[in-house]
Amino acid sequence: MKDNPMRIPVPDHIMEIDPYVPGKPIEELEREYGIRDSVKLASNENPMGASPLALAAIGEALGGLHRYPDGGCFTLRAALADHLGVDGEGIVLGNGSDEIIGMLATVLLVPGDRVVMPAPSFLMYDIMARGAGALVDAVPLDESLGIDLEEMARRVDDRTRIVFLCNPNNPTGSFYAHAAFEQFMQRIPDTVVVVVDEAYFEFVRDSRYQTAARLCLRYPNLVVLRTFSKAYGLAGLRVGYGVMHPEMTAVINRIRQPFNASVPAQAGAVAALGDTVFLQRSIAVVHEGIDALFAALDRMGIRYFPTQANFFLVDVGLPAAEVFEAMLKKGVIVRSMASYGYPHYIRINAGLPAENERFLQALGEVLA
């Protein structure tokens, strides 16, 4: 147990959780180092910003801030249902998909239950599961840094309540094909909830990938998570959603905060969903950036890993924490993967062309 100087009793399983450390904010870097015009490629954000239509809708919504939001998010859920071709009763909105992960842990887990997840993957699965007192069975990735669905299915037992998957996986950018997922679902008992996080699905280029969102009526134990933070550029609004069987939404709504999606968030998300021009341009800029970065790293002789997301891993051959700090001093924020079990890897997302060039120049100087 970690030290707890308070006299207030806190359960051991809470004190043993390491807090989530987000990517360093630009404002913090510039305040600490006195740097201006810094570049952030650490949090998988959209380098294009937000949709102009979303910004306009948010501006129009500000006049209604004295009113509570629509607690049922009717307009946004209807837009999502139409966009996805699913039942709107099977959609739950969250303050980011993080909140939905937390709600699932609250309604499904009691102390002593088991959760199976890949390792490494998005850290909030582990944090939310352990926060509910569950035991986490972390299944190592395979040699190609892919999720080992076979081994994950083998780890499921009669105490398992949730299986977390991330497709494409964060932080590796790897993915599993739809056919493999269908075989996996056939092996999972219907008493175990499978949560598939598709935060980065818009960026996938491999034709073997398919979303699982339309399978939720076939599999009542399936939940698919999505977000407006990445491809849609609304990370600051915190809008995530889950697609699931309507019976599961009825359970989650028992504990969901009634106004967890703000007035600007709902308005911005509806408008962003309809701005297909901005979405396609954002995806194109990311793909162009990934390809250009790969080509430059090849010329520099630096090892990197293929990806189906808007980010990828780079093997810097040195302690990642040291490279992270050295890059900060050059005004470039990347993400050290040391806490994910990769002591010599960093993760970066594709930025605008000038940002990518800034990263390449700084990395070359640091590694030299």
Q: What is the DSSP string of 93-109?
A: EESSHHHHHHHHHHHH-
52-274 has the same fold as 22-49+277-367? no
What would the mean pLDDT of 95-122 be, rounded to a whole number? 96
What would the mean pLDDT of 241-250 be, rounded to a whole number? 95
C-alpha dist (Å) from residue 278 to 231, 232, 250, 318, 362: 9, 8, 34, 38, 30
Q: Is the pLDDT of residue 2 over 70?
A: no
Pick the closest to residue 104 from 259, 223, 247 (CA basis): 223
Q: What is the pLDDT of residue 24?
A: 63
Residue with tokens 């497709």: 167
- Which of the pair, 24 or 177, is modelled with greater confidence? 177
Q: Could you give the CA distance from residue 276 to residue 359 in angstroms, rounded to a whole number? A: 29
CATH topology of domain 52-274: Aspartate Aminotransferase; domain 2 (3.40.640)
Residue 44: left (phi > 0), alpha (psi -120 to 50), or beta?
left
Residue with tokens 């949709």: 51
What percent of the chain is modeled with pLDDT above 70? 95
Contact between residue 241 and residue 75 where contact means Cβ atoms under 8 Å apart: no
Q: Could you give the CA distance from residue 320 to residue 338 in angstroms, rounded to a whole number? A: 6
Q: Where are the chain's structural domains?
A: 22-49+277-367, 52-274
Is the CATH number 3.30.1330.10 carried by domain 22-49+277-367? no
User: pTM for the full model?
Assistant: 0.91
Q: What is the pLDDT of residue 18?
A: 75
Q: Could you give the CA distance from residue 16 to residue 90 in angstroms, rounded to a whole number? A: 35
In 99-254 the beta strands, taken as DSSP E runs, fall at 114-119, 135-140, 160-166, 193-197, 222-227, 240-244
Distance of CA 284 to the CA centre of its chain: 20
Mind listing the pLDDT tens digit for each residue in 170-207? 999 999 999 999 999 999 999 999 999 999 999 999 99
Confidence tier at 31 by pLDDT (50, 70, 90) = confident
Residue with tokens 């189906």: 308
Mind listing the pLDDT tens digit for each residue in 345-364? 999 999 999 999 999 999 99
